[in-house]
Chain A
Amino acid sequence: MTIRVPIVENILNANDRLAEENRARLDSAGVFSINIMASPGAGKTSLIEQTLPRLKDKLRVAVVDGDIATSIDADRAAQAGAQAAIQVNTGGDCHLDAVMLRGALEQLDLTQFDLLIVENVGNLVCPASFKLGTHKSVLIASIPEGDDKPYKYPGMYRGVDALVINKVDLLPYVPFRMDYFERGVEVLNPGVVTFPLSAKTGEGMDAWMDWIMDQVKGTR
């Protein structure tokens, strides 16, 4: 005889629980953490490269880089001044998950850091579903990607705490309707703080740096 057993359990419950453990570990060490997500080429590593020198002598920073393969990004972060840079190769997976971040955290003496920057795998779909346990999620959109991305990748735009709009120096050369883009963002994530900037020219970086410093102070 067949019987039906009611469950009603979120499919990613196990990952969510591990994410909570990561958060507790970071909290007990007093480390503030952000998860940076974006499509490939939006400028995740470039933004981190521009951010690290501006934090010199202010915060001790560790970077965890997620990639399908290679350690190019972790090498760039170390070069730019990260006190520690750990590469996590996902071996084909399209996103970081809480287990992978836990493995990276175990390689760090967290008491030696104030800020952990996690650079997720370049992807506008999957990373949104997998919580890591970081305190804040940041999405980098970039002008050449086009203004329709909020409409096409709503899941990614909905879950983030801050939105960086990178490569604004290209606005004169690329068709990009900022009002159309912003309307989509407003529906998906009302009131989300946005930082239009260029990691290349440095334009707009000050507001982004102020936000990071405020966030870190807020957790102390």
Chain B
Amino acid sequence: MHELAVTQSILDISLRHASEAGAKRVTGINLVIGEFASIVDDSVQFYWEVLAEGTIAQNAQLHFERIAGEMTCTHCKNSFHPKEVDFACPICGSQFVQITKGDEFRVDSIDVE
């Protein structure tokens, strides 16, 4: 459970950019989070309400864009969602696969007034 540290970082980034943009209020935070980033949305929302209180972002809505994990077979180039118990390519059975999506972990934008 490191959502507290993560939420604090999201708040710090949002407030810094809001200040640079001369915003009076932050109404939305747009996050892009990959499947391999182990973060629980509800926990971030919970900590947000505590941490953001008293800041210009206290009523901001958090929007989570989730990116599904994806592996790509280096042999047949097929892309697939990995099963938990096996990473082999479901088309050709090759074990030579690479992770191509799911690491995203960023503040994409904020909505301000």
Contacts and interface: CB of A to CB of B under 8 A. Distances in A.
Nearest to B104: A10
Given A5-B18, A13-B9, A94 B2 contact: yes
Contacts of B1: 94, 126
Given A11-B9, A129-B2, A183 B95 contact: yes
Nearest to B44: A11
A219 interface: no
Given A152-B84, A184-B87, A7 B12 contact: no
A129 B38 contact: yes
A130 interface: yes
Chain B interface mostly helix, strand, loop or mixed?
mixed
Interface residues of A, number: 34
Given A12-B105, A93-B2, A183-B87, A2 B110 contact: no
B5 A7 contact: no
B73 to A, nearest CB: 11
Nearest to A14: B9
A15 interface: yes
A210 interface: no
A186 interface: yes
A76 interface: no
A11, A12, A183: residue with the most chain B Cβ atoms closer than 10 Å: A11
Interface in B7-36: 9-10, 12-14, 17-18, 21, 23, 27-28, 30-31, 36
Interface residues of B, number: 40
B87 A151 contact: yes
A155 B105 CA distance: 13
Contact of B87 (A126, A130, A187): A187
Contacts of A151: 84-87
Nearest to A6: B109
Contact of B110 (A5, A130, A184): A5
Contacts of B96: 187
Interface string A166-202: 0000000000000000011011100000000000000
28 contacts: A1-B113, A2-B111, A2-B113, A4-B110, A4-B112, A5-B17, A5-B21, A5-B111, A7-B108, A7-B110, A8-B109, A9-B106, A10-B106, A11-B105, A15-B5, A15-B9, A94-B1, A94-B2, A129-B2, A129-B105, A130-B2, A130-B5, A148-B85, A151-B85, A154-B36, A155-B36, A187-B96, A188-B99
Interface of B: 1-2, 5-6, 9-10, 12-14, 17-18, 21, 23, 27-28, 30-31, 36-38, 71, 84-88, 95-99, 105-113
